[in-house]
């Protein structure tokens, strides 16, 4: 019965984990979609900027030096944007891996939940046919019983300890009293001998 109740508690915990995992998966998918839209927008901006820069270079009447300066700036900017895009693609790949791991974990928890669904139905039947309001009420009652049992075992242990100490103390007192009685008997024998000797001496006198 104790193992079954532990399984019931495990079911509830797994159900809670599944709900949390579903929420995390949903939030991760939303974040992934937002990242994809952001990257697409940045790519469009990059192409638009390149087109503007190309048109500006072709139509401007600047000198060759100015054109070279603009070209250098454009290459530098393109390099920076490429590095930024590479970084974002790496983050996107990492997010995909995390999402896949979360999905696998979700499937694993779902299988466990299906495995323990029998216990969940059993607990629901208990709630319907008892004074308990819900499954959490059953768990609280079970925890209270466990605490009471633990306290009872502790009390019994202390009682045994006191009983053993009492027996040891009783044996010590008994040994002391027996020693005192033996001493008293020895003293009594000595006194009787002295009394007999005194009576003998009185008769002689």
Q: Specify if 187 maps to a domain.
A: yes
Distance of CA 115 to the CA centre of its chain: 22
Q: Specify if 161 maps to a domain.
A: yes
Q: Specify if 9 maps to a domain.
A: no
Q: Specify if 95 maps to a domain.
A: no
Q: Specify if 160 maps to a domain.
A: yes
- Look at residue 114 and tell me whether its pLDDT is greater than 60: yes
Could you read off the pLDDT of 69-110 as tens digits, one per residue?
Answer: 778 888 888 888 888 888 888 888 888 888 888 888 888 887
**pLDDT tier, 24 (very low <50, low <70, confident <90, very high otherwise):** confident
pTM (2 decimals)?
A: 0.33
Query: Which range marks the domain in which residue 178 is found?
Result: 150-204
C-beta neighbour count of 138 within 10 angstroms = 19
Structural domain tally of the chain? 1
Q: Specify if 172 maps to a domain.
A: yes
């Amino acid at each position: 019965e104790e193992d079954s109740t532990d399984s019931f508690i495990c079911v509830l915990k797994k159900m809670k984990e599944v709900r949390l995992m579903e929420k995390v998966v949903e939030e991760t998918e939303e974040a992934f979609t937002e990242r994809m839209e952001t990257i697409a927008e940045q790519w469009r901006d990059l192409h638009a900027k390149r087109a503007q820069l190309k048109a500006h270079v072709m139509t401007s009447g600047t000198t060759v030096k100015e054109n070279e300066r603009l070209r250098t700036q454009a290459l530098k900017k393109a390099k920076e944007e490429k590095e930024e895009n590479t970084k974002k693609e790496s983050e996107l790949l990492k997010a995909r891996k995390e999402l896949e791991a979360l999905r696998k974990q979700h499937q694993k928890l779902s299988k466990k939940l299906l495995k323990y669904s029998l216990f969940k139905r059993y607990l629901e039947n208990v709630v319907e046919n008892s004074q308990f309001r819900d499954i959490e009420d059953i768990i609280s009652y079970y925890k209270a019983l466990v605490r009471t049992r633990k306290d009872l075992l502790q009390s019994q242990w202390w009682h045994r300890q006191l009983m053993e100490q009492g027996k040891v103390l009783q044996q010590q007192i008994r040994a002391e009293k027996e020693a005192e009685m033996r001493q008293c008997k020895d003293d009594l024998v000595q006194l009787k001998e002295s009394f007999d000797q005194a009576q003998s001496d009185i008769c002689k006198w």
